[in-house]
Amino acid sequence: MFALISVALGVGFLCGCCGIGGFLLIPALVYGVGLDVHTAMGTALFSFIFTGLASVWLYQRHGSIDWSVSLLLCFGGFPGGFLGAMHKSLISAPYLNLTLAAIIIFAGCNNIRSVGQGFRLSMPETRQTRLLVLSCIGAAVGYLAGLTGAGGPVLSIPALMLLGFPPLTAIGASYAVQVAGAVSGSIGNAMYGFLDLRTGLWVSVVQIIGVAAGAYAAHRLPTARLRFLLALLCIVAGSYMAIETLFSGPLRGIVF
């Protein structure tokens, strides 16, 4: 139990500081609490409602939330989260593991590559195109959150930075869409029995403490080294999850 509390605290800090890291809670719930993969993903996503709200409040206090961007992301993220949770009920655990592993590895590679510091796209200026682009990003982020339990920032941060948004603005907006996707996704998960409410509540409390410390660090301390170490951790953890899934269980005879 102490190990799980430590993981939840660390995950909260990474989320508040770097915007990513929430997906690391899912393996902890599987191996530390004994939840099945579907329920672990649903429980982790439920906890992201509260960590997301705490992060939005903390980033708003520092003036790092652009609501003209955030609300458009949420417009697509809310229905996307519910749809992802519905589809999760149709997918077996090994394939969910591989999808989550791919997202984790992507997050690690993205942090090493530092998307947004090199090649960038131009954010559309017309109102209709801006609505379409941001709501589509939100829908994709919400869907994958509902499907795998991975919070929105892991995908929305690189997308927004690629469009030229500053890092703190991208992180703040990503927390807003995380809340939208987590709320609707949790409704879907509860409908299908993929939510451990008791575990989700106490894990949320521990994570919020970490989020507060992480948000403080993000606005006052250089975090480049921490992001690099987190990137390496993501690549190692995602690769391990993928290899373990491919070499064991139902997929072993199919893939190899």
pLDDT digits (tens, 9 = 90+) for 80-102: 999 999 999 899 888 888 888 88
Q: How many domains does the chain have?
A: 1
Give the pair of three-digit tokens for residue 153: 């920032």
Question: How many residues in total does the chain contain?
Answer: 256
Alpha helices in the chain (DSSP H): 2-18, 25-28, 37-61, 67-88, 93-113, 127-148, 153-162, 167-191, 197-220, 224-247, 252-255
d(CA 21, CA 77) in angstroms, rounded, equals 19
For residue 86, the tally of other CB atoms under 10 A from its CB is 17
d(CA 107, CA 113) in angstroms, rounded, equals 10
pLDDT digits (tens, 9 = 90+) for 142-194: 999 999 888 677 778 888 888 888 877 888 888 899 899 999 999 999 999 99
Tokens 């339990």 belong to residue: 149
Q: What is the pLDDT along the chain (256 residues), one digit of tens a residue?
A: 666 777 778 777 777 676 666 777 888 888 778 889 899 999 999 988 988 888 888 888 878 788 988 999 999 999 999 999 999 989 988 888 888 888 888 877 877 765 445 445 555 567 788 888 899 999 999 999 999 888 677 778 888 888 888 877 888 888 899 899 999 999 999 999 999 999 989 888 888 888 778 777 766 666 566 667 777 777 887 888 888 888 775 554 443 3
Contact 211/55 with Cβ under 8 angstroms?
yes
Domain that holds residue 50: 2-255
Q: Which residues contact 238 (CB under 8 A, 6 or more apart)?
A: 100, 101, 102, 103, 104, 105, 107, 108
Give the pair of three-digit tokens for residue 152: 């929105």
